[in-house]
Amino acid sequence: MSIQNRYDHAKEKFAGFGVDVDKRLDFLSTIPLSINCWQGDDVGGFESEDASLGGGGILCTGNYPGKPRGIEEFRSDTEFAFSMIPGKKKLALEAIYGNFQGRLKDRSQIEPGHYDYWIDWAKKFGYGIDFNPTLFSHPMGETGYTLSSLDKTIRRFWTDHVKNSRKACDYIGKSVGQVCVNNIWLPDGSKDLTVNRLKHREILLEALDEIFAIKYPEKNIIDSLESKLFGIGVESFTSGSHELYLGYAAKNGLGVALDTGHFHPTELVSDKISSVMLIVKFISLHITRGIRWDSDHVPVLSDELIAIMQEITRANAFDKVYIGTDYFDASMNRVGAWVIGARSIFKALLIALLEPAALIEKYENEGNMFAKLALYENIKLMPFGDIWDHYCEKQGAQLDNQIISDILKYEKNVMLKRNR
C-alpha cells in the first residue's frame, strides 16, 4: 500500500474522533524547533583553531570519529542534519560559534558582525536563529562563578559578555527577520557546602539588573533565564535556582527556560508548563533526556515528551512556549544524534496535535471518567506512523527506514575522511 493510501486510511480513522488531519499537519509545519548547534562538535566552538571543552559545568562524553574540524565542515554537517528533519527549523547558536577567524580578543568582546556568517546562511535557507551567551569553558570561570562571583573583575568580564551577546541577538533577529530567543545559563555554584548562598544570589540579581537595563525591540530579541538544580561540580549549591529565576522573570517581564534535565528525576516538566506560563512572559523549552542527572542524552519518543507537547497543545500556548533541543552526545554519530532527537520532538508534537482534545474534555467536564480513560486507551493504537510518513514525504525529508543508511553513507563519504 502506498504512503498516500495509508495516509488516507489513517486520516479517515482520525476523522471519526473529530480530528481534521490535514489542518493539523498544516499547523505542525508552522511550529519552529530550535536545534542546538553544540551537538555537532561536542560544545567546542570556533574561538580558536584548537577550541575544546575547558570544563565549567559542561561535560560531553565520547570521542566518536568524524568531528568537524572547522566552521565549514560544521556547516556541512548542520545542513545535512537539517535536510533530514521535517518542519520549520531554527539554529540555536552558542556565542563561541561565531566566525571569528582568529580576530576575537576575548569572549567579553564579541560583536554582532561575528555572526554574519550564520545570518547569511539562515536567510539563504529560511531558518531562524536563537542564541546563548557562553558562560563556561573559560579561564575567567575557573573559580566556579561568573555573574554571581564575589570577584568584581570576574563579574565585570561576564556581565560585559552577556551584554554584548544581547546586542548580537538584537542584530541577528533584525537581520534574519525572526525573533531571536536569547537564553542565559550560567554554571555558577559549589560542589560542597557554602555559607554564601544569599550573597551570591544578591550579586547575581545586581548583574542581571545591569544586563537587562538595556532594552531592545521584542520583535528582534526576547530573553529567558535557565535554572539548574544540580550537576557535575555544583552538587550542593546553584546560584541560578528555579525559584530565583521564576520570581525575577515574573517581576521583570522575562521568560524562563525549562530544561527537562535540570530538575529532580521525579519532577515532570510537563506538569510545570501550565503553571509557569501563567506567571512569566514566555517559556523557552529545552528538551533533553536526563538519566539520573543532567546527562544530556538524545531525546527519544517517550511518554513524558508526548505529555509535554500535549500540555502545550491543549493550552494552545505556541505563542508562549518556544521549543528547542539541548543535548550533546559524542559517543555516537553526531549528525545521527541531531536527527534522532529533533525528529522525536516533531513526532511527539504530531501525536499531541492529533489528540481529540475536544472529545476528551467533553467527557471530563461531564464527569464521565470511564469514557475518558477508554478514549485515552483507544487512541494509543491509532496509526500515527502512517501520518508521520506522509508528513515527512510532504516536507521532503527521509522516512524513518531511510535514516540509518543515509547517515551511515554520509559518515563513510564525508565524516570519516576527516580522521585520515
Among candidate residues 226, 329, 355, 386, the one labeled active-site is: 226
Cβ atoms of residues 390 and 400 within 8 Å: no
Q: Which residues pair with 285 in a beta bridge?
A: 258, 323
Residue 202 class from Cβ within 10 Å (0-12 exposed, 13-18 middle, 19+ buried)?
A: exposed
Which residues are CB-contacts of 418 (< 8 A; sequence separation ≥ 6)? 65, 66, 67, 68, 69, 73
Among candidate residues 42, 170, 223, 326, the one labeled active-site is: 326
Torsion (CA) 224, 229, 231, 234 in degrees, nearest 10:
100
Q: Give percent helix, percent strand, percent coil of the chain, each to the nearest 5.
A: 50, 15, 40
Please indicate whether residue 286 is annotated as part of the active site.
Answer: yes
Question: What is the spatial distance between Cα 300 and Cα 315, in angstroms, rounded to a whole number?
Answer: 23
Helix (H), strand (E), coil (C) string for 285-304: EEECEEECEEEEECCCCCHH
- The HSE-up count of residue 370 (CA atoms within 13 Å, CB side) is 0
Please indicate whether residue 329 is annotated as part of the active site.
Answer: no
Tell me the Cα Rg of the chain.
Answer: 22
Question: E strands along 185-246, which residues?
Answer: 189-190, 221-226, 237-238
Question: What is the spatial distance between Cα 86 and Cα 97, in angstroms, rounded to a whole number?
Answer: 24
Q: What one-character DSSP code corresponds to residue 412?
A: I
Please indicate whether residue 226 is annotated as part of the active site.
Answer: yes
Please indicate whether residue 161 is annotated as part of the active site.
Answer: no
Pairing of strands 189-190, 237-238: antiparallel
Torsion (CA) 167, 215, 35, 307 in degrees, nearest 10:
160
Please indicate whether residue 114 is annotated as part of the active site.
Answer: no
Please indicate whether residue 380 is annotated as part of the active site.
Answer: no
Please indicate whether residue 188 is annotated as part of the active site.
Answer: no
Can you tell me which residue has the cell 539554529? Answer: 91
Q: How many CB atoms lie within 10 A of CB 214?
A: 10
Among candidate residues 42, 77, 188, 259, the one labeled active-site is: 259
Cβ atoms of residues 86 and 345 within 8 Å: no
Among candidate residues 163, 174, 228, 347, the one labeled active-site is: 228
Among candidate residues 163, 286, 297, 372, the one labeled active-site is: 286
Longest C-alpha distance within the chain, in Å?
68
Among candidate residues 67, 242, 262, 390, the one labeled active-site is: 262
Among candidate residues 47, 77, 94, 294, the one labeled active-site is: 294
Distance of CA 256 to the CA centre of its chain: 13
The set of cell numbers assigned to 266 is: 521525579
- Where in the sequence numbering do the catalytic residues fall? 185, 226, 228, 259, 262, 286, 294, 296, 326
